[in-house]
């Protein structure tokens, strides 16, 4: 069994041999990855159910299908992504070739998270493979069943020379980070991100960070409450609220809150029945430690539980819960909730709501429910977040054509679709010159004269911007 260092060294020498570069190789590996998922769907669903009690429906949509979609997208577009991008030329370079090449970085490290154990590990891998890299992937040990399954399946389908799965806890990850990688892709928490960044900065390794945050959901103005409630509940309680892009808390007026509560109650009943614990469509909390964390938050909160609140430790179950009368300094507002608890905070006006949001760190996603486009635009233009969605939640991250990533405290870099390919590529500027036009070139050579300077100045006159250098 190789040690981690040996694995990384081996992958590096394989990368140097150039086998991951040709388009056919990349396409073949992507196709293999697709087979891996399709052939083993049952096993995958079972593992996800074991880890998170994830309903089969949710698992197929948010773990299986989303990766398969991205794989199709990558396979179909790989040729065009790999083509050099020609740049516009200027007077002096008209006879030259100026283009940007996308080149692989080398050996990359992808660290997954436990809430969507397959998607958050494999979606970046699609980008890494498409870009021509070798990769070390490290599934989250918290979602243990999926971790084991990935460690077992990946070597069977993907080239063992180029891709390796490394499993383990925080200690093993720390040791892994002592190695030098050419890019690190991390999904998870801010605290861990800091230590990853510090390890990376020693080797000058670039990092993509997909971190969470408290994603606000503003409901304001003229809005259809039943429709908004339905979409909000779906986005919030999908995967038991354990999504980095789930609406974390709601900001609305007191009147809206009053109208919202019965609508929420009705939708929750429609979705999960009056006894959500018995519904097979509602997930569980991933581990006893996280269950305890959530229950403590709820306990410390000074808000009032108006819906749900039931829990069962053995089952790691927390009912879909709505809390009102929550103040800004409440326990529920101090960290990302990451569970099926929805605080509703009342604000007097849209401006106050926007100020509230801007007092906090930039979140991964920001939501607005309103039928008034002026409200939507006001929020869009006066706040900053990784992504934005109006009148729905989560779905903005399912489009491969849109970059998915954070800003500020919610991270940096992005992926999905072409953006994944770009995240793991180096854009190399290339200029291929000929020997001709040396007379023109000579304008820049010493000995420097006023005449040469005038010529050069003339070519960079006011409105145009041209460089004759």
Partner 1 sequence: MSGPPSPSPARWFKALRRTRLGEPCLKTYPLECVDLLKRARVAFQAGRTLKEVFRLGQLEAVVRMLEEHECDFVDALGRDLHKPRFETIVSELILVKNEALYAINNLKKWMQPQHVERNLSTTLDECLVVSEPLGVVFIMGTWCSPVQMCLVPLVGAIAAGNCAFISPSVSTAHTAELLHRLIPFYLDNECFHVILAGTNDLPEVVELKFDHVFFTGNREEGSRIAQAAARTLTPVTLILGGKNPCYVDQHCEVATTAQRIAWARFHNAGQSLVAPDYILCHTDVKARLVQALKCSLMQFYGSDPRESRSYGRMVNLELFNRTRDLLWRSGKVAVGGQVIEAEKYIAPTILTEVVEQDPIMQQDVFGPVLPVLTVDNMDEAIAFINKQEKPLCVYAYSSNSKVISRLMSETSSGSFCSNDSVLQSLMVALPFGGVGASGMGSYHGRHSFDTFSHRKSCLLRSTRFECVTYLRYPPYEDRNLSLMTWASTLSQKSQGWCQIL
Stretch that binds partner 1, among 37-45, 125-133, 343-351, 403-411 (CB under 8 A): 403-411
By CB under 8 A, which span of 6-14, 109-117, 310-318, 445-453 interacts with partner 1? 445-453
Given the rule CB under 8 A, which of 43-51, 61-69, 246-254, 326-334 is the region that contacts partner 1? 61-69
CB of 340 to partner 1, least distance (A): 13
Q: Work out which of 55, 213, 247, 339 binds partner 1, going by CB under 8 A.
A: 55
Q: Which of 117, 400, 420, 422 binds partner 1 (CB under 8 A)?
A: 400
CB 149, min distance to partner 1, A? 21
Task: Tell me: does residue 32 bind partner 1 (CB under 8 A).
Answer: no
440 binds partner 1 (CB under 8 A): no
Q: Using the rule CB under 8 A, is 179 a contact of partner 1?
A: no
Task: Please identify, using beta-carbon distances, which residue of 7 and 368 lies nearer to partner 1.
Answer: 368
Kindly state the tokens that stand for 453: 């300077």
3-class SS string, the chain: CCCHHHHHHHHHHHHHHCCCCCHHHHHHHHHHHHHHHHHCHHHHHHHHHHHHCCCHHHHHHHHHHHHHHHHHHHHHHHHHHHCCEECCCCHHHCCCEEEEEEEECCEEEEECCCCCCCHHHHHHHHHHHHCCCEEEEECCCCCHHHHHHHHHHHHHHCCCCCEEECCCCHHHHHHHCCCCCCEEEEEECHHHHHHHHHHHHHHCCCEEEEECCCCEEEECCCCCHHHHHHHHHHHHHHHHHCCCCCCCEEEECHHHHHHHHHHHHHHHHHHHCCCHHHCCCCCCCCCHHHHHHHHHHHHHCCCEEEECCCEECCCCEECCEEEECCCCCCHHHCCCCCCCEEEEEECCCHHHHHHHHHHCCCCCEEEEECCCHHHHHHHHHHCCCCEEEECCCCHHHHCCCCCECCCHHHEECCECCHHHHHHCEEEEEEEECCCCCHHHHHHHCCCCCHHHHHHHHHCCCCCCCCCCC
Please report, as residue ranges, which positions from 85 to 104 form the binding site for partner 1 (by CB under 8 A): 87-90, 93, 98, 100-101, 103
Q: Rule CB under 8 A: which of 121-140 touch partner 1? A: none
**By CB neighbour count within 10 A (0-12 exposed, 13-18 middle, 19+ buried), where does 101 fall?**
middle
From 282, 291, 415, 424, residue interacting with partner 1 (rule: CB under 8 A): 282
Sign of CA dihedral 428, 206, 34, 386: negative
- CA 234 – CA 426 distance, rounded (Å): 38
Per CB under 8 A, the list member of 105, 142, 177, 375 interacting with partner 1 is: 105
Place of tokens 């283009």: 99
Which stretch, 63-71, 119-127, 146-154, 302-310, contacts partner 1 (CB under 8 A)?
A: 63-71
Q: In angstroms, give the least distance from the CB of 147 to partner 1.
A: 26
Among 23, 281, 310, 351, binds partner 1 (CB under 8 A): 281
Closest CA to 184 of 248, 137, 231, 224: 137
Applying CB under 8 A, which of residues 186, 369, 415, 421 lies at the interface with partner 1?
369
Binding partner 1 (rule: CB under 8 A), the pick from 32, 159, 277, 398 is 398
Structure tokens at 447: 């000995």
Site for partner 1 in 6-25 (CB under 8 A): 16, 18
Which of 58, 134, 162, 210 is flagged as catalytic?
Answer: 210
Number of residues forming the site for partner 1 (CB under 8 A): 117
Choose between 59 and 286: whose C-beta lies nearer to partner 1.
59
Cβ-count burial of 446 within 10 angstroms (0-12 exposed, 13-18 middle, 19+ buried)? exposed
Catalytic entry in 217, 244, 252, 257: 244
Binders of partner 1 among residues 307 to 326 (CB under 8 A) are: none
445 scored as a contact of partner 1 (CB under 8 A): yes
Residue 163 interacting with partner 1 (CB under 8 A): no
Q: Which is nearer to partner 1, 223 or 333 (CB)?
A: 223
Q: Which of residues 210-249 bind partner 1 (CB under 8 A)?
A: 223-224, 227-228, 230-231, 234
Interface pick for partner 1 out of 156, 174, 360, 427 (rule CB under 8 A): 427
Least distance to partner 1, CB of residue 302, Å: 29
Check residue 376 for interaction with partner 1 (CB under 8 A). yes
Q: Beta-carbon neighbour count of residue 87 at 10 Å?
A: 14
**Would you call 244 a catalytic residue per the annotation?**
yes
Select from 10, 148, 266, 452 the one that contacts partner 1 (CB under 8 A). Answer: 452
* Residue 441 interacts with partner 1 (CB under 8 A): yes or no: yes
Shortest Å, Cβ 370 to partner 1 = 9
Q: Which residues are catalytic?
A: 210, 244
């Amino acid at each position: 069994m190789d040690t981690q260092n040996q694995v990384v060294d081996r992958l590096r020498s394989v990368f140097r041999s150039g086998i991951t570069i040709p388009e056919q190789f990349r396409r073949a590996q992507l196709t293999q990855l697709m087979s891996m998922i399709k052939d083993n769907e049952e096993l995958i669903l079972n593992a996800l159910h074991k880890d998170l009690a994830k309903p089969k429906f949710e698992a197929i949509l948010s773990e299986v299908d989303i990766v398969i979609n991205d794989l199709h997208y990558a396979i179909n577009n790989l040729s065009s992504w790999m083509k050099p991008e020609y740049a516009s030329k200027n007077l002096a370079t008209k006879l030259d070739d100026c283009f940007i090449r996308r080149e692989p970085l080398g050996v990359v490290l992808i660290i997954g998270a436990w809430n969507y154990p397959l998607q958050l590990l494999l979606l970046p891998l699609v980008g890494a493979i498409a870009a021509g890299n070798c990769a070390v992937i490290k599934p989250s040990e918290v979602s243990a069943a999926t971790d084991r399954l990935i460690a077992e399946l990946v070597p069977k389908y993907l080239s063992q020379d180029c891709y390796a799965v490394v499993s383990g806890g925080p200690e093993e990850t720390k040791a892994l980070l002592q190695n030098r990688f050419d890019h690190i892709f991390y999904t998870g928490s801010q605290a861990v991100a800091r230590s990853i960044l510090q390890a990376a900065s020693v080797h000058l390794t670039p990092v993509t960070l997909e971190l969470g945050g408290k994603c606000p959901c503003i409901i304001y103005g003229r809005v259809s409450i039943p429709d908004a409630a339905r979409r909000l509940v779906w986005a919030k309680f999908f995967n038991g609220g354990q999504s980095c892009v789930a609406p974390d808390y709601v900001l609305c007026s007191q009147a809206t809150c009053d109208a919202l509560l019965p609508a929420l109650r009705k939708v929750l009943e429609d979705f999960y029945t009056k006894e959500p614990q018995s519904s097979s469509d509602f997930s569980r909390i991933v581990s006893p430690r996280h269950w305890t964390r959530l229950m403590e938050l709820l306990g410390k909160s000074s808000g009032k539980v108006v819906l749900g609140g039931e829990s069962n430790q053995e089952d790691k179950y927390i009912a879909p819960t709505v809390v009102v009368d929550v103040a800004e300094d409440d326990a529920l507002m101090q960290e990302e909730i990451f569970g099926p608890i929805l605080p509703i905070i009342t604000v007097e006006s849209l401006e106050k709501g926007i100020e509230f949001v801007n007092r906090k760190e930039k979140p991964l996603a920001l939501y607005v429910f309103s039928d008034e486009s002026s409200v939507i635009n006001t929020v869009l233009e006066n706040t900053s977040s990784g992504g934005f969605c109006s009148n729905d939640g989560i779905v903005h991250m399912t489009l491969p054509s849109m970059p998915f990533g954070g800003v500020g405290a919610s991270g940096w870099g992005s992926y999905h679709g072409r953006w994944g390919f770009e995240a793991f590529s180096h854009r190399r500027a290339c200029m291929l010159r000929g020997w001709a036009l040396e007379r023109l070139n000579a304008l820049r050579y010493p000995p420097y004269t006023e005449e040469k300077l005038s010529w050069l100045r003339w070519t960079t006159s006011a409105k145009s911007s041209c460089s004759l250098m």
